[in-house]
Amino acid sequence: MKFKNGKILLASLMTGTLLLGGCASQKTSDAAETQAASGGAENAITLSGSTASCSSSNVTIDGGTITITGAGTYALTGTLDDGMVIVDAGDEDDVELVLNNAEITSSTSAAIYIASCGDATVTLASGSENALSNGGSFVAIDDKDIDAVIFSTEDLALQGDGSLTVTSPAGHGIVSKDDLTVEGGSYTITAASHGVTGKDALVLNGGAFTITAGEDGLHAKNSDEAALGNLTIRGGAFTITAGDDGVHASGNTVIEAGTVTILESSEGIEGQTVTISGGAIRVTASDDGLNAAGGSDSSAAGDFGGSPFESDAKADITISGGTLYINAGGDGIDSNGTITISGGQVFVSGPTNSGNGALDYGISAAITGGTIVAAGASGMAENFTSAEGQGVMLVSTGAQQAGSTIQLADANGNVLVTWQPDKAYECVVISTPEVQQGGTYTLTAGSSTQTVEMTSAVYGGGMGMGGMQPGQMGQPGQMGQGGQPGQMGQPGQMGQGGKPSGMKRP
């Protein structure tokens, strides 16, 4: 976010400013919106094929190019076959564009370009259906490198109760080079590159999104300011099909509420830190499901600095609430630094290849609450390093088919958790609040049933930063040298693919 003189806000003011900015974006009264959307206001812009008309002195029209130079609310209706709306107002001039059944196509640039103004708002009139598109190329008209159907150099807010279809076959869908805040609306976005981008911050307080993107679905990245490039979801519904990441931030990714469904992605949800305190989340990823600070995605390492294979104390994944289902081809939950789970429900269908694990961390992983069931291959399996208030177990199950039920029961036969992973698995990490040190539990996983005695809060070891510990691989229920029943590995053997101490596996 910027002051009117263009200076970037101090990082210490970011949180409060974002909250205030989200409230301020709803600045149009119902009466004003109704008047503007009806076409009765002086600022009504009527789109008519190859040109448009408007009686406002703040609007100039040159063929299909509509330029707005002053503050106000401008309602657009009709169809513009090949043209664009440019907002080029003063730094103190707040401009709102109300789309009321408007359709704009620009063959060579943005359909809406916010070049200069105070705050910019795009409102979707209640019940309206709107469409914005680019024809397949972006030709420079200034030095701003326009590459999106909606492109703003200023803070941009999206709101309203209407719908908007955005089509960008050669670039991004919606971009703000400052903050982008969404309060409402229904959006269908198809883009060759990123779907929705906020450079300094992307704040999603509401709205319903269906995004198909060649790169990231939701994207926040600032290469110049380490404290910026943050992404926050506080509400709304998101269905994302992405060619790179579903949700990606170079800074912090925060999910507090809402429904997030990532149907396809390289990495599902990524950031320098990932913090989840609520919401209903489903992630399908060909690589990692959750990723803090690069992980095995070497292309993303540049966002965070350093190597994707080294530990990073700044990287953290924290889960304190919500419901999360992960289906990952790489690591299920991967942090180059730490993982902390204190609440919520987490279910991981991890990798079937032995080069990844359902859990992966560079420094440590702690659980103090919540429920987790993480199933995957055993070759690089890791357990939590600590547990407080409840116990956690890592148990070899032998090879089990996809859909084979995992069920944990206490000594009285009470079922504590049950789940069917989406993929085949060989081991499982389980923790629920009812699992306590000193207790005895029965784990059934497909064709495997075994008794687990929680002689410690953390039962069962696996592949850690220093390589596989002796006696921890093995058939289900076997005793490895120095190990507990049901731990993994032939007695005293090294785990396949073990790395020297200090190396983080790819």
Residue 311, pLDDT score: 72
Q: How far is CA 153 from the centre of its chain?
A: 23
Residue 304, pLDDT score: 58
pLDDT (average), residues 461-483: 37
Residue 458, pLDDT score: 97
**Lowest mean pLDDT: which of 76-85, 411-420, 477-486?**
477-486
Residue 9, pLDDT score: 35
3-state secondary structure of 266: coil
Residue 461, pLDDT score: 83
Residue 462 pLDDT class (50, 70, 90 cuts): low
Residue 430 lies in a domain: no
Residue 20, pLDDT score: 33
Instruction: Calculate the alpha carbon distances from 349 to 62, 90, 421 in Å.
Output: 56, 53, 5
**H or E segment to which residue 19 belongs:** helix 14-24
Residue 372 lies in a domain: no
Residue 305 pLDDT class (50, 70, 90 cuts): low
Question: Tokens at residue 227, please?
Answer: 């404290």
Residue 482, pLDDT score: 31
Residue 198 lies in a domain: yes
Where in 161-207 does DSSP place strands (E)?
163-168, 172-176, 179-182, 186-191, 196-198, 201-204
Residue 60, pLDDT score: 98
Residue 114, pLDDT score: 98
Q: Which residue do the tokens 């299909």 mark? A: 64
Residue 474, pLDDT score: 32
Torsion of CA 255, 257, 258, 264, to 10 degrees: 30
CA distance 421 to 415: 17
Instruction: Give me the percent of the chain exceeding a pLDDT of 70.
Output: 80
pLDDT digits (tens, 9 = 90+) for 322-347: 999 999 999 999 999 999 999 999 99
Total structural domains within the chain: 1
pLDDT digits (tens, 9 = 90+) for 124-133: 999 999 999 9
Instruction: Calculate the alpha carbon distances from 197 to 124, 147, 203, 273, 292 in Å.
Output: 19, 11, 10, 18, 19
Q: Which residue has the higher pLDDT, 407 or 501?
A: 407
CA distance 357 to 290: 12
Pairing of strands 163-168, 338-349: unpaired
Computed over every residue of the chain, the mean pLDDT equals 85
Residue 234 lies in a domain: no
Residue 481 lies in a domain: no
pLDDT at 493 over 60: no
CA-based nearest residue to 24, from 205, 178, 157, 151: 157
For residues 463 and 484, is the Cβ–Cβ distance under 8 A? no
Residue 222, pLDDT score: 95
Residue 106 lies in a domain: yes
Residue 408, pLDDT score: 98
Q: Which residue has the higher pLDDT, 261 or 5?
A: 261
pLDDT digits (tens, 9 = 90+) for 58-87: 999 999 999 999 999 999 999 999 999 999
Instruction: Give me the percent of the chain exceeding a pLDDT of 90.
Output: 77
Residue 41, pLDDT score: 59
Give residue 143's domain range: 1-206+221-226
Q: How far is CA 5 from the centre of its chain?
A: 32
pLDDT (average), residues 169-198: 98
pLDDT digits (tens, 9 = 90+) for 27-67: 444 444 444 444 445 799 999 999 999 999 999 999 999 99
CA distance 254 to 246: 14
